[in-house]
């Protein structure tokens, strides 16, 4: 996400701040820092760990036992029946008749005091009874009820966070990937080569280590866990290191993390999908085709794309593919072209500014008293929307929500790991060792090895001012898996809570070690000299006359 390049706004020139602005300024400054998202994420992780180990019962009850239901009800005759005094449910009448029969039978001594006459058919569920919820049925089933609401689907809070809220995060990831491919560091094959090779090495190395330690075991399905890099943490640590780190290295690591995210998405879609429902996949494909057609028509109405994103999410969710893939598919269809070019924007906006300036003699005249000035401002706002592609507009709006709300909530709901027994016992099993060694060793070694090979055979070159020591440090920061790693662990070990706890604890330990080691390694690197400016004309010797 690009920053504002410190371009002043009209409000920034006003020395008199509003009271609300004074209160919000510290938070705005914090949010503007590149490392802020990582700091919030780290704080929520610490809260989750402390909470889970002090009172796991309450933690588990809130996130894993508290159920949120989505219901669909349709009762067209219910209200009318009540207005005419009719009984809307036949089961209620059956209850009353059954009670009367039981009373009469007891008085006549025909039945035992504890016996009751069952007035319901054995296949009928009472209207007030909770329907049986088969936990093994999977998330792609709706459960019928005899009375309104007719259909419902309920899941714990953590499930909705991981499937619904994280789809918004993956929308941001998809937007960043598309932006980088179209106009960023991945747009040029020469500049994209090194991050792509580095990302491939950073995925292959950890996966091989995990497979080597878990081959032939029931834990082999977790091979994808140590492959992922947490872009927020990794780039946030680079930002905290400041100007000591070459800017080209920051660009390299950001691009590598984005390619890594793309690889993780492919792994999730291909290898962690069970029980495909082709019917819903067909529905999802139809919606994607409609979104692509809107893109071809150059429709830039953002609301329409987001509204169509809801049924797309539902169809992907019901298909068996993880629902978060819907966010990426939606991002790929968001238009990345502007309505007007820079020349038209400058010309039209300057004309609107001239109209605004000439609308009244008094430059401090209140805008609410001038319809001409309001019209000029509206024209400027429309120009701004038309020169900024929908992709950038959505990314600008959604990115803070993902960084400061969705990801921290995800960490709070998933990082609460109760440590049973000794810590070493939890970290010496094959799952934990595969993840720790994969992230801490496999990531930097894989990145460094493939990048070194690519530069030697001439397929890529090191960025200016970056040494191999810098590359090793960046590779170590790539071992910060966290968000993506925990996400994949939830998929890989969803049927084995014990392995899932070990995996999450190993992810936290490996990410912490990688962050410390990578930061120390980069701080020990010599500051790269600034690139020499390009010289125009022949060299001139100052000693020559």
CA gap 261, 274 in Å, rounded:
21
- Is 483 in contact with 411 (CB distance < 8 Å)? yes
Three-point CA angle 349, 353, 355, nearest 5°:
115
- This model's pTM is above 0.75: no
Tokens of 481: 């898996």
Contact 466, 527 (CB under 8 A): no
Q: Are 475 and 448 in contact (CB under 8 A)?
A: yes
How far apart CA 48 and CA 409 sit, in angstroms, is 10
According to DSSP, residue 275 is labeled S
Residue 303 half-sphere exposure, CB side, CA atoms within 13 Å? 0
What does the alpha-carbon distance between residue 294 and residue 281 come to, in Å, rounded to a whole number? 20
Q: Would residue 465 be called left, alpha or beta, if left means φ above 0 and alpha means ψ between -120 and 50 degrees?
A: left
Determine the pLDDT at residue 417: 81
Distances in whole angstroms, Cα of residue 9 to Cα of each of 4, 5, 13, 362: 10, 12, 7, 21
Fold annotation for 34-65+156-173+185-273+398-523: Na+/H+ antiporter like fold (1.20.1530)
Integer Cα distance of 121 and 96 in angstroms? 15
Cross-strand bridge partners of residue 67: 156
The sign of the dihedral angle between the CA atoms of 229, 231, 234, 238 is positive
Say what the pLDDT of residue 240 is: 73
Say which residues have a Cβ less than 8 Å from residue 189's Cβ, sequence separation at least 6: none
Number of residues that make up the chain: 545
Burial of residue 279 (CB within 10 Å: 0-12, 13-18, 19+) is exposed
Helices 36-54 and 407-414: angle between axes, nearest 10 degrees: 20
Q: How many helices (H) and strands (E) does the chain have?
A: 23, 3
* Domain definitions of the chain by residue range: 34-65+156-173+185-273+398-523, 77-128+138-155
* pLDDT of amino acid 93: 44
- Nearest one of 424, 439, 430 to 511, comparing CA atoms: 439
Cα dihedral 213, 216, 217, 221 in deg (nearest 10): 80
| Among candidate residues 521, 386, 404, 390, the one with its CA nearest the CA of residue 467 | 521
- Secondary structure element (H or E) that encloses residue 153, with its range: strand 151-156
Alpha carbon distance 158, 515 (integer Å): 27
Closest CA to 159 of 355, 366, 410, 327: 410
**Mean pLDDT, consecutive 10-residue segments, the chain of 545 residues?**
56 62 59 67 87 88 84 53 44 50 52 44 41 44 55 78 88 86 78 89 94 92 88 74 77 84 85 82 93 90 92 89 86 89 90 83 64 86 88 88 87 82 74 94 94 90 86 91 87 88 90 90 71 42 43
Inter-axis angle of helices 482-492 and 407-414, nearest 10: 50
With 0-12 / 13-18 / 19 or more C-beta atoms within 10 angstroms meaning exposed / middle / buried, residue 433 is: middle
CA separation (Å) from 329 to 179, 249, 311, 315, 372? Answer: 14, 29, 12, 12, 43
Contact in structure between 445 and 474 (CB atoms under 8 Å): no
Find residue 312's DSSP bridge partners. Answer: none
Strands 151-156 and 143-144: antiparallel
- pLDDT recorded at residue 138: 44
């Amino acid at each position: 996400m690009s920053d504002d390049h410190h371009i002043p706004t009209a409000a920034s020139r006003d020395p008199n701040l509003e009271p609300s602005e004074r209160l919000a300024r510290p938070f705005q400054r914090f949010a503007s820092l590149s490392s802020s998202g990582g700091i919030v994420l780290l704080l929520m992780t610490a809260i989750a760990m402390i909470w889970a180990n002090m009172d796991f019962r309450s933690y588990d009850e809130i996130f894993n036992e508290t159920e949120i239901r989505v219901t669909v009800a349709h009762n067209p005759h219910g209200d009318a029946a009540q207005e005419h005094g009719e009984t809307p449910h036949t089961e209620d009448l059956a209850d009353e008749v059954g009670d009367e029969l039981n009373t009469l039978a007891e008085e006549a001594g025909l039945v035992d005091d504890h016996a009751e006459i069952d007035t319901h058919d054995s296949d009928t569920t009472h209207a007030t009874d909770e329907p049986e919820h088969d936990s093994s049925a999977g998330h792609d089933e709706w459960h019928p009820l005899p009375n309104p609401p007719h259909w419902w689907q309920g899941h714990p809070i953590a499930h909705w966070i991981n499937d619904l809220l994280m789809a918004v995060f993956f929308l941001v990831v998809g937007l960043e990937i598309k932006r980088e491919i179209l106009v960023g560091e991945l747009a040029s094959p020469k500049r994209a080569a090194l991050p792509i090779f580095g990302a491939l090495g950073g995925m292959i190395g950890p996966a091989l280590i995990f497979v080597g330690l878990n081959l032939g075991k029931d834990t082999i399905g977790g091979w994808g866990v140590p492959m992922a890099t947490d872009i927020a943490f990794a780039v946030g640590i680079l930002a905290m290191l400041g100007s000591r780190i070459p800017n080209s290295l920051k660009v390299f690591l950001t691009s590598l993390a984005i390619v890594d995210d793309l690889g993780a998405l492919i792994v999730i879609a291909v290898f962690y999908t069970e029980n495909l429902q082709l019917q819903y996949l067909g529905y999802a494909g139809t919606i994607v085709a409609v979104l692509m057609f809107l893109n071809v028509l150059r429709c830039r109405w953002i609301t329409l794309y987001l509204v169509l994103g809801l049924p797309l999410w539902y169809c992907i969710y019901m298909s068996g593919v993880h629902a978060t893939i819907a966010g990426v598919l939606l991002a790929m269809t968001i238009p990345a072209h502007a309505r007007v070019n820079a020349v038209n924007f400058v010309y039209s906006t300057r004309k609107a500014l001239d109209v605004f300036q000439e609308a009244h003699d008094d430059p401090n005249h209140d805008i609410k008293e001038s319809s001409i000035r309001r019209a000029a401002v509206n024209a400027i706002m429309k120009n701004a929307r038309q020169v900024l592609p929908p992709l950038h507009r959505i990314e600008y709006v959604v990115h803070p929500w993902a960084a400061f709300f969705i990801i921290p909530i995800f960490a709070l709901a998933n990082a609460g790991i109760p440590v049973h027994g000794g810590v070493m016992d939890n970290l010496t099993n094959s799952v934990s060792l595969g993840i720790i060694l994969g992230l801490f060793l496999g990531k930097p070694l894989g990145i460094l090895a493939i990048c070194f090979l690519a530069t030697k055979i001439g397929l890529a070159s090191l960025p200016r001012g970056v040494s191999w020591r810098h590359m090793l440090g960046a590779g170590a920061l790539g071992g910060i898996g966290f968000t993506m790693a925990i996400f994949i662990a939830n998929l890989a070990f969803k049927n084995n809570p014990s392995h899932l706890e070990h995996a999450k604890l190993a992810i936290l330990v490996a990410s912490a070690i990688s962050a410390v080691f990578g930061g120390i390694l980069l701080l020990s690197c010599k500051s790269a000299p600034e690139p020499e400016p390009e010289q125009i004309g022949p060299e001139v010797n100052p000693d020559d006359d």
